Chain A
Amino acid sequence: MATKRVLNGNAAIAEAIRQINPDVVAAYPITPSTAIVEYIAKFVSDGLMTTEFVTPESEHSAMSMCVGASAAGARVFTATASQGLALMFEILYIASSLRLPIVAGIANRALSAPINIHGDHSDVMGVRDSGWIQIHSENSQEAYDNVIQAFRIGEHKDVSTPVLVTMDGFILSHAIQDMFVEEDEKVKAFVGEREPLYTLLDVENPITIGPIDFTDYYFEHKRSQFVGIENAPKVILEVAEEFKKEFGREYGFFELYKMDDAEVAIVVLGSTAGTAKVVVDELRSKGKKVGLMKLRVYRPFPAKEVADVLSNLKAVAVLDRAASPGGVGGPLFTDVRASLYEYTNKPILVDYIYGLGGRDIAPHHIAEVYDRLEKIAATGERGELLSYINLRE
């Protein structure tokens, strides 16, 4: 039987890792993900985990160790945020390019400067082209469930690609919530064993990993590296299906909230979806046809599925918790907009940047966005493409 617990996001992720008991955990502390590493250290120290737990001198080395350990066939986990993820940048590409499954738990946080410890998506958006699968969570339960599924997805032989599971720093990492923790044995059975195709430790069959390519092979190798993440959508859905059978909670590329007859909608990642749902309920009670798309899988981006849902709406606002200075809107916006390009029927799109450095987003801010969407839907007049929420200008 699953037990009802009250856990913050960090504890929820650590709990999943305790149950999965990976071969190697190599992680470095940084606010707001530090507690994940501390919980794991304590579990190991109390004999609740038999993981080889290593504390490298930096995140760069943490990710380098993960790469070495994964190439040696181990099941590997790390956790980080912000500057730590940025410091890993170089090695994130190597991990995905060598098709090495690794799971990273991220409590996302703003990037310096100015230094700021609060949640936003700048860190994870900064690595969106690194070849990692990227899964967002709305609450502690989802963070826990996503980590459990991440091992199955990343280690699947057709995928063999690292996976990053993120939750909003502080808002989720440090806020306690009711959630279910499944039985240890059930989680272990669900995750199973990693079965690597090749490993460095197979000394009887020596392999060369990470060689140099010249112009004659690099491009072909690059292309073949993308196959893993291209195969991921099918596996993500299969794993979600099995997860639902085993544990009862449903997952997909995204969650649709009151979208069936919606005319306008917001697209958002992470914890803000929780706030937006409250607003949707309130507006719905007043008879407004508003809905919400909470994206879970950001990479690979489910372009067709997103566009199929949004194309019939009148107006859509994308809420970005990261900026792309000098670009055409935030990262989520550009992906959503590009997904709709082929469609004849499509909504008018606007982008909002919100919540940088942990700036609050309140229900009334979201209500204002819906208000504007309804006006856009009624008049066909878009106005500004990009606006900012709760910013003093």
Chain B
Amino acid sequence: MAIRARLKDLAAMEDKFVSGHGLCPGCGIPLMLRMVLRATEHPLIAVNATGCLEVCSSGFPYTAWKVPWMHNAFENAGATAAGVEAAYKALKRRGKLPGGDKKIKIVAFGGDGGTYDIGLQSLSGAMERGHDIVYICYDNQSYANTGGQRSGATPFGASATTSPAGSKIPGKLQWRKNLTEIMAAHGIYAAQASVSHWKDLFQKAQKAIEIDGPAFINVLIPCPTEWKTKIEDGVQLAKIAVESKVWPLYEVENGKYKINYYPKKEVDVTEWLKPQGRFSHMFKPGNEWMIEEYRKKVLEEWDRLVRLTKV
């Protein structure tokens, strides 16, 4: 029986990722985990790429994980999860599972660096081979753990330590990679979610875990530390990202695109950009073009997405 997406029920469930971890105050990662780890009744094994989540949740001799958890390296969460899945399949078939036969689900977590960039090949291979795994990218748009370098997910304009806004170059000049579509192109269930929309995230996690085969979810994770925002603003900013169409909530299932949430009123991208220190230079005189470019691209991308839902 599927777990109902009711806060009351979810709140009554046991936390499998517990306090004592060292993630920053206001970090969006635990919010995402709270939903994902509740999304199945089956036992779940977590695989984690190197990054904030891994470093902050496993400092020996402590662990924040109450599910079996494994960290291998930075760029191989996809392959590692696939290896665990291959072992599970083999041992299940041979009647050698510890404690007898049971259904176990394997979920990999990687940051945007570990997923969009260095781990893309490993993830793509795992998805192409059809392993029964879920891969969740917690996208904080930055190599946060190593101090905020740019990644392929860092938005246009953002100042990062390896794309600093200087007097000649105003931050990152490239648009972010569209990873969700890259994953959808593997012919798998691929979705985009945000911690601000817990129910949508929960239901997507439920669906992804339930699917007998590979699935991918890209979750926007507010990172007050690298976005240079107030600690308490995180969830609100994630919500504005959705409302301003910067981060549309959608899913691709059996090749069909579906937008899960259509913003009800116009919210301009400046509401997303303004509160974040990493975009502050875009509001300086002479840089107006950056905001215009940003707005134009966001709306173009949204229109394209809407068109895709009609194919």
Contact = CB atoms under 8 A, between A and B. Distances in A.
Given A50-B94, A65-B79, A200 B72 contact: no
A202 B125 contact: no
Contacts of A91: 72-73, 76
A49 B202 CA distance: 40
A288 B304 CA distance: 84
Nearest to B125: A57
Given A72-B88, A199-B98, 17 more contacts: A23-B90, A60-B79, A61-B121, A64-B73, A65-B79, A68-B83, A69-B83, A70-B87, A76-B87, A91-B76, A201-B84, A206-B65, A208-B58, A209-B71, A210-B58, A211-B60, A214-B59
Contacts of B104: 201, 203
Nearest to A214: B59
A61 B76 contact: yes
B83 A26 contact: yes
A324 interface: no
B76 A64 contact: yes
Contacts of B43: 203
B81 interface: yes
Q: Which of B73, B84, B90, B99 has most chain A Cβ within 10 Å?
A: B90
Interface residues of B, number: 51
Interface in A154-204: 199-204
B97 interface: yes
Contacts of B102: 203
A147 interface: no
Interface in A16-72: 23-24, 26, 50-52, 54-58, 60-62, 64-72
Contacts of B87: 23-24, 52, 68-70, 72-74, 76, 201
B121 A57 contact: yes
Contact of B79 (A68, A90, A217): A68
A201 B86 contact: no
A207 interface: yes
A213 interface: yes
A57 B65 CA distance: 30
- Across the A-B interface, the 6 shortest Cβ-Cβ residue pairs: A68-B83, A57-B125, A65-B83, A211-B58, A72-B87, A74-B87
Contact of B78 (A61, A66, A199): A61
B73 A213 contact: no
Contacts of A256: none
A67 B99 contact: no
Contacts of B70: 68, 71, 200, 208-210
Contact of B72 (A24, A64, A207, A217): A64
A202 B68 contact: yes
A201 B90 contact: no
Contacts of B122: 57-58, 60-61, 64
A306 interface: no
A67 B43 CA distance: 21
A328 B97 CA distance: 50
Contacts of A64: 72-73, 76, 79-80, 83, 122
A74 B98 contact: no
A65 B71 contact: no
B70 to A, nearest CB: 4
A206 B44 CA distance: 10
A68 B73 CA distance: 11
A94 interface: yes
5 contacts: A52-B93, A61-B126, A200-B45, A212-B60, A217-B60
A58 B86 contact: no
Contacts of B91: 23, 72-74, 201
B84 A58 contact: no
B85 to A, nearest CB: 8
B58 A71 contact: no
Interface in B42-72: 43-45, 47, 54-55, 58-61, 63, 65-72
Contacts of A65: 79-80, 82-83, 86
Contacts of A70: 83, 87
A74 B90 contact: yes
B75 interface: yes
Contacts of A208: 58, 63, 65, 68-70
Given A64-B122, A74-B90, A201-B104, A24 B58 contact: no
Contacts of B94: 23, 50
A61 B58 CA distance: 23
A340 to B, nearest CB: 38
A23 to B, nearest CB: 4
Contacts of B90: 23-24, 50-52, 69, 74
Q: Which of B73, B79, B89, B125 has most chain A Cβ within 10 Å?
A: B79
A57 to B, nearest CB: 3
B69 A206 contact: yes
B163 interface: no
Interface in A194-245: 199-204, 206-214, 217, 221
Given A60-B75, A202-B68, A217-B60, A71 B84 contact: yes
Interface in A67-89: 67-74, 76
B83 A66 contact: yes
A212 B60 CA distance: 6
A338 B78 CA distance: 42
B297 interface: no
B82 A68 contact: yes
